[in-house]
Copies of this chain bind each other. A is one copy, B any other.
Amino acid sequence: MLIRINMSTKEVVKEILPEKYFFLGGRGLTSRLLLDEVDPSCEVLGPQNKLVIAPGLLGGTAAPCSGRISIGAKSPLTGGIKESNGGGIAARKLAKLGIRALVIEGQPQEDNFFLLKVTNDGVEILPADELEGLGNYETVKILLGKYGDKNGIISIGPAGERGYSTASVAITDMEGIPCRHCGRGGMGAVMGSKKIKAIVIDDSNTTNITYKDEKTFKEVSREWARELVVTRKTLTDYGTAGNLSLINTLGCLPTRNFSCGVFEDAEKLCGEKLREIIQTRNGKASHACQQGCVIRCSNIFTDADGKVVTSSLEYETIALLGSNCGISDIDFIAKLDRFCDDFGIDTMELGATIGVMMEAGVLNFGDQKKMMSLIDEMKNDTLIGKMMGQGATLTGKVLGVRRIPAVKGQSLAAYDPRGLKSTGVTYATSTMGGDHTAGNCLPGRLGYRPKTKDQEFIKTKEGIVELSKDVQIMTTLCDICGFCFFVGPTPDTVDRVAKLVNARWGTTITFDDLIELSKQVINTEVEFNERAGLPQTLNGLPEFFYTEKLSPQNYIFDISKTKLKNIFKND
């Protein structure tokens, strides 16, 4: 079922999911609905844009790590289509309620904020005046107190209310903390433009998901879970920050606004150090953000007194707000992370924005005191705060900075594309802008085709492009199903997804069908973007990645724009 919530008329309508959308969950459904129903040239924060919230095709099931939620809209940051997904408990609850998507349309005449209450009876639109201006932490505390602490909450902070293009949407985790974020692309601003402060999801009157072939489903899930526990041990032990030492050693850790690939204080920020600190302080070094997660890459970071500061402190946040800003104080980064979660803003985009401001000389690299004062500017919604809220590209434009590490208006993630070139290709070609979650190609990653499984081929320029393409396709499949990227966008995953989908729904889908489905979803997004003014012919990275060698390894991004054009077109 789809539930449409029209914020202009305050009407709520339940619809049977059209047959053509059957295999589309998560990003598949958000993107398809946007292409079918939204004018790509519409005003982003106006009544014509729609916010679509969808659990994955396997949401609510016993498949490991299948509970991510997709939030999609035309993005205020890129101007193109966007899907941003996050963990937490909301997707599972929506799936159990039989909801394939919430489609939020229109725009109220009123200036005050509303709350959506989602239950087995449908969706109610309630006033939320008392929540206006509150951070996500306080918002969630009030709502869980009022409606019961078993509810899942989707909410925005002040950034989303104000329409900052970098505003995130927060999802509560199993402890009821609003720390899982659909961070990228400004989905929080679109939710704010619909005047929705929060969505409370109550699945108390539901039963568990049923399966056409429960035995097979559970067997495949169990086997996969067992394997993940073994193969993802580094993620379990060190979280995503476990990557930091590797990326630093490879020489592609964004440092001082992407001017260097190695940070001299990397050992103060790495996963090993993070684990040590957390364990000393009785935090949690390993923690699941959702039911059915066997990887447990999340953590709970505490201060020296053992008080919870934030959850989860992630690699991308540490690198962008840390090394990229010349910061080596992990406690300081944790505080910024807490601020971002509460204020409702993307940590990566903020780190890139401050990096650009440091390059412009607004403050020095490493200046923690001035960074905190900039955070105050954002809290106080001053002109400088508003500018920062629009992200790195706009900030860099105002400040006259040429080295802006962003693609399609969205800042890059914590891998310098000169050192990790297939991920660079993903930044350059993804429909999502500079976004590693669209297809991160860490060392060891292979594709699904014979040629992209060839270790030598994927080192060639053609292979670098082809690998990114495969990984983007397989990642899209994860996003359609609601799988966490960390189960791996690999051929094994595709095989397992085929079995699980068929066991869940009684279908006969194959490996090739799933690849085709994922390509179709990407092409949906390509089409939206073409019509929104982000054609594939514009694929590329900012010029400095092509012309400025990355110290100390002297990497250069040498995949020509010609090779990056139309990699998904007519495919």
Contacts and interface: CB of A to CB of B under 8 A. Distances in A.
A532 B542 contact: no
A162 B400 CA distance: 8
A561 B397 contact: no
Interface in A529-547: 530-535, 537-538, 540, 542-543
Of the listed residues A39, A394, A533, A535, the one surrounded by the most CB atoms of chain B closer than 10 A to its CB is A533
A313 interface: no
B41 A537 contact: yes
A43 B543 contact: yes
Contact of A398 (B386, B535, B561): B386
Nearest to A39: B561
A46 interface: yes
A402 B543 contact: no
Interface size class on chain A is 20 to 34
A41 B387 contact: no
A9 to B, nearest CB: 16
Main secondary structure, interface of A, reads: loop
Contact of A41 (B400, B533, B538): B538
A115 to B, nearest CB: 23
B48 A543 contact: yes
Interface string A374-399: 00000000011011001000100111
A530 B538 CA distance: 10
A383 B398 contact: yes
A534 B537 contact: no
A538 B79 CA distance: 12
Contacts of A561: 39, 41
A157 to B, nearest CB: 16
A36 to B, nearest CB: 17
B43 A542 contact: yes
A131 to B, nearest CB: 20
Contacts of A384: 383
A378 to B, nearest CB: 13
A522 interface: no
Interface string A38-52: 010111011010000
A533 B543 contact: no
A439 interface: no
A468 to B, nearest CB: 19
Nearest to A532: B538
Contacts of A532: 538
Contacts of A390: 397-398
A163 interface: yes
A282 to B, nearest CB: 43
Interface string A505-531: 000000000000000000000000011
Contacts of A42: 543
Closest 6 pairs (CB-CB, A-B): A43-B543, A533-B533, A41-B538, A533-B538, A386-B398, A387-B398
Interface of A: 39, 41-43, 45-46, 48, 162-163, 165, 383-384, 386-387, 390, 394, 397-400, 402, 530-535, 537-538, 540, 542-543, 561
Given A43-B542, A383-B387, A394-B398, 7 more contacts: A48-B543, A162-B400, A383-B398, A383-B399, A386-B400, A398-B398, A531-B537
